[in-house]
Structure 1
Amino acid sequence: MNDTDASLDDILIVEDEPKIARLVADYLEGSGYATHHIDHGDQVVGYLSEAESRPSLVLLDLMLPGTDGLTLCREIRQRWPDIAVVMLTARVEEVDRLLGLELGADDYICKPFSPREVVARVKAVLRRSQAHQQDSEANHDLVLDESGWRALADGQDLGLTAVEFQLLKVMMHSPGRIFAREQLMDHMYRDHRIVSERTVDSHIKKLRKKIADIWPEREIIRSVYGVGYKYQPEE
């Protein structure tokens, strides 16, 4: 029986072990998801760039031929922050777990795993993502017009620069997640130019001021002392 709340979501499975990929795909398709399988890391960015309809979530193996999973996770987060990422790996060392999450993974599953567990984790991640988007739209709160590179607070254009918009977009797609300044710099400047951490602070300060001009009593971009910043919408 298909799960009706999953019927509109596409899942990209990036896994070089065909038996695992087929098993996971069977269970996901049985729950109403559409799947596509890639078995080589070098093919992922090209597929996402050219796809007419991008997947809602990528199941991403850590150890892949070609480009590895951690590198791909960073690339996906920089270029398509609205795509959820769940990492799959047989490496259970804590450093790998933390590194994967710091690069932007929404969840992390260690092999061997039950395919039912994978389906449950996928549903949970997608529901969190969809709930955030629906809440923003329903409340006429802070809405991103990505095609026009605009941010609207209660319908009013904040007048953001391209860098400010990119910063806000990255944080809004992962509410509550703490971003280090170095991570934010990677999103601000795709050419990886060398800038100081004060540059991030300056852009955040300007972004906050523009939000405060419309919402003087609300603080949605919060500092985490010694770490960085996070987007924390009010309940």
Structure 2
Amino acid sequence: MEILMIEDNEAVCEMMAMFFENEGWQAAFKHDGEEGLEAFAAAERKWDMIILDLNLPSMDGMQVCREIRKISQFVPIIMLTARDSESDQVIGLEIGADEYVTKPFSPLTLIARIKAMHRRANVDHSQVQATDDFDVLTDHVKISTITREAYLDGNQIESLTPKEFELFALLAEHPKQVFSREHLLTRIWEDPYYGDERTIDAHIKKLRQKIEAVGPQVIQTVWGVGYKFDDSGVEEK
């Protein structure tokens, strides 16, 4: 695995370098927001994972995340934050981070998160041949977990991040079944997850925006419980 870690605390970087080496991973470390963004942009297909600190000199992590997402919608981003503000964490997820880890953190916890993210990370579309085989089919939606593509009435739902895609595929695979936020965290994040359940709300919000860009909304809120997929009310074209 090739990891780009953008973190201004050199002691943290040195510590993580040892853990990455122990896993057999290659890692590059940048201590400045602009330098980190330049390193990613210079070789965007090289990186399998971005570890991004929120507080950085020259360009903060929020802006770096936004710029990375303009270049790639698929590279997994784990945001590191020392802030206790729940709103900061939700904003980070809304602008494109796949999840966050709050400082101070255990290196083993971060390694576990990286492994879980990598297992579910989006495949490189340039290495996948187009296929007409879809493993999730409803009246209006078809999804391929091989090409990581999703369509609503023939229109592709574009730029889904890994977590957004996994959420959409899981919900669509079980039409009208209501999933609680806790259940979705357990299913999508795999490893024990101790973050706020608003993580799910942030991802659902972005997913809905991308669905609405091509057609009617098919992700429904069940108040006080969670979310479900339902395309039964979509009108036939």
For 2:69, the equivalent position in structure 1 comes to 77
Q: Is the 8 A contact 1:101 1:107 kept in 2?
A: yes
Which of these residues, 121, 127, 136, is aligned with residue 113 of structure 2? 121
| TM-score scaled by length of structure 2 | 0.60
Task: Tell whether 2:23 aligns with 1:31.
Answer: yes
Structure 1: tracts of 5 or more residues without a match:
1-8, 185-199, 209-220
For 1:204, the equivalent position in structure 2 comes to 214
| TM-score scaled by length of structure 1 | 0.61
* Deviation of the 1:137 alpha carbon: 8.5
Distance change in 2, residues 1:70/1:27 (3 Å): same
In structure 2, give the amino acid aligned to 1:48: F
* Deviation of the 1:92 alpha carbon: 1.6
For 2:88, the equivalent position in structure 1 comes to 96
Distance change in 2, residues 1:138/1:23 (3 Å): farther
Aligned partners of 2:19, 2:67: CA distance in 1, in Å? 27
Distance change in 2, residues 1:172/1:115 (3 Å): closer
* Deviation of the 1:172 alpha carbon: 6.0
Distance change in 2, residues 1:224/1:170 (3 Å): farther
Aligned partners of 1:140, 1:29: CA distance in 2, in Å? 39
Report which stretch shifted further, 168-177 or 119-128. 168-177
Distance change in 2, residues 1:111/1:182 (3 Å): same
User: Could you give the per-residue CA deviations for residues 180-201 of structure 1, whole angstroms, max 9, x where no partner exists?
Assistant: 49965xxxxxxxxxxxxxxx84
Distance change in 2, residues 1:35/1:54 (3 Å): same
Percentage of identical aligned residues: 29
Task: Tell whether 2:19 aligns with 1:19.
Answer: no
* Deviation of the 1:94 alpha carbon: 1.1
- Higher relative contact order, chain-length normalized (CA < 8 Å, sep 6+): 2
For 1:171, the equivalent position in structure 2 comes to 160
For 1:222, the equivalent position in structure 2 comes to 218
Three-state SS of the structure 2 residue aligned to 1:171 is coil
Three-state SS of the structure 2 residue aligned to 1:129 is coil
Structure 2: tracts of 5 or more residues without a match:
135-142, 168-202, 222-226, 230-237
In structure 2, give the amino acid aligned to 1:222: V
* Deviation of the 1:77 alpha carbon: 2.1
Three-state SS of the structure 1 residue aligned to 2:159 is helix
Three-state SS of the structure 2 residue aligned to 1:108 is strand
Three-state SS of the structure 2 residue aligned to 1:113 is coil
Which of these residues, 123, 140, 161, is aligned with residue 133 of structure 2? 140
Aligned partners of 2:88, 2:120: CA distance in 1, in Å? 24
Q: Is the 8 A contact 2:17 2:27 kept in 1?
A: yes
* Deviation of the 1:69 alpha carbon: 0.4
For 1:193, the equivalent position in structure 2 comes to none
In structure 1, give the amino acid aligned to 2:15: L
Query: What is the number of residues matched between the two proteins?
Result: 173
In structure 2, give the amino acid aligned to 1:76: I
Aligned partners of 1:79, 1:20: CA distance in 2, in Å? 27
Three-state SS of the structure 1 residue aligned to 2:73 is coil
Distance change in 2, residues 1:182/1:71 (3 Å): farther
